[in-house]
Amino acid sequence: MTSIASNNLQTRVKSGLLCTASIKFAFGIRLAPSPWTVQLAKAAGFDALFIDLEHSVLSLTDTAQLCTTGILAGITPFVRVPYRCGDGFVQRVLDAGSMGMIFPHVKDKEDARNAVRMSKYPPAGTRSLTGQLPQFGSAPHHHEVVIQESNTVGSTVFVMMETADSIENAYEIAATEGVDVLLIGSNDLSIELGVPGQFGSEVYRSAVEKVAAASHASGKVFGFAGVYDNADVHDWVVNKLGARFVLGQQDSGFIAKGAKECMAAIKNIHE
C-alpha cells in the first residue's frame, strides 16, 4: 500500500478501463477555482482535473485549493503550466498538490528531458524536497518514501504535442525516459500546420496519427485535447488511435454552452 494519493490515470491505464469510450476523462478548469467546481466534475463522472495555468489568471493559491480538493475527492489533479515557466514555478505547483505536470509546446527530446528533470526528485531529476505535501495528506513521511512514491505515482509528465517540430520529433520525444503522456494540443497544432481549426483535414489527422503511433511504440499514453463536443473526432482518437487521456471540456466552455442553450430555450418560449 502506498502513502501517496492515488493517480487515476495510472491506475485506469494499467487496468485497461480507459479503453472504453463511455468513460469521461479530464475536466478542465481555467475560470472557476472553487471546490464546488471540483465536486461538480466528480459528480459528473470525470476522473481527472486539467487545471490550466497557461491560458488563465488562476493563482498558485487557486491551484493549491483545487489540487487539495481533487485529492480529497478522488479526482486526480494535473496542472498545465505556462510555456518556459522555469524550474521554480514547476516546483511550487508540485508542492501545491499537483499529481502531474502538463508542459506545453514541447518541441524535441531536450524539451522532454527538461520536463522530466523539473518534475522528479534526484536521481531522476532536480526537484527540491519539502515536507507535509498535500499528495501525502500533509503528513510527514521518510524521505525515501516521498521520493520513490512521488517519482513513480505523483508526478506524471505530460508533454504537449502542438508544434510542427514536435510532430517531426514525435518518436524521440516518446522514447524519452520519464515521459508518461504525449498530449495533442489540437488548436495550436492545427495553426502550426497551416490548417487552423480544420480538424478533419488530412494534414492535421496525419500528425495526430503519427503521435499516436509514436506513443504506442514506446509504451506511453496517447492523450488528446482541444476538440470538444465532437463525437466523430473523439470516436476516432479513442477507438481508432487508442487515446487513453482526453480533455472533455473546460469550465468556461460548459458555462458558455449552458448559457447559450438557456437563452435559446427562453427565446423560443417568448417567440
Among this protein's residues, is 55 annotated catalytic? yes
- Whether residue 245 lies inside any domain: the answer is yes
Closest CA to 147 of 114, 112, 119: 119
- Whether residue 200 lies inside any domain: the answer is no
**Which pLDDT does position 22 carry in this prediction?**
36
- Whether residue 91 lies inside any domain: the answer is yes
CB atoms near residue 1 (< 10 Å): 2
- Whether residue 246 lies inside any domain: the answer is yes
Residue from 55, 105, 143, 216 carrying the catalytic annotation: 55
- Whether residue 151 lies inside any domain: the answer is yes
- Whether residue 174 lies inside any domain: the answer is no
- On whether the pTM is more than 0.85, the answer is yes
Q: For the purposes of burial, counting CB atoms within 10 Å of the CB of 80, is it exposed (0-12), middle (13-18) or buried (19 or more)?
A: buried
**Which pLDDT does position 21 carry in this prediction?**
34
Block residue for cell numbers 504537449: 160
- Whether residue 236 lies inside any domain: the answer is yes
pLDDT tens string 199-249: 999 999 999 999 999 999 999 999 999 999 999 999 999 999 999 999 999
Rounded to the nearest 10 degrees, how much is the dihedral formed by the CA atoms of 159, 160, 162, 166?
Answer: 10
Contact in structure between 129 and 123 (CB atoms under 8 Å): no
pLDDT tens string 253-268: 999 999 999 999 988 8
Closest CA to 171 of 240, 125, 115, 112: 112
As for how many domains the chain has, the answer is 1
* Domain CATH code at residue 99: 3.20.20.60
CB atoms near residue 103 (< 10 Å): 26
Closest CA to 243 of 6, 11, 8, 13: 13
**Which pLDDT does position 82 carry in this prediction?**
97
- Whether residue 240 lies inside any domain: the answer is yes
pLDDT tens string 137-187: 988 888 998 899 999 999 999 999 999 999 999 999 999 999 999 999 999
pLDDT tens string 93-134: 999 999 999 999 999 999 999 999 999 999 999 999 998 899
Domain that includes residue 82, residue range: 24-155+223-266
Contact in structure between 133 and 91 (CB atoms under 8 Å): no
Three-class SS state of 197 = coil
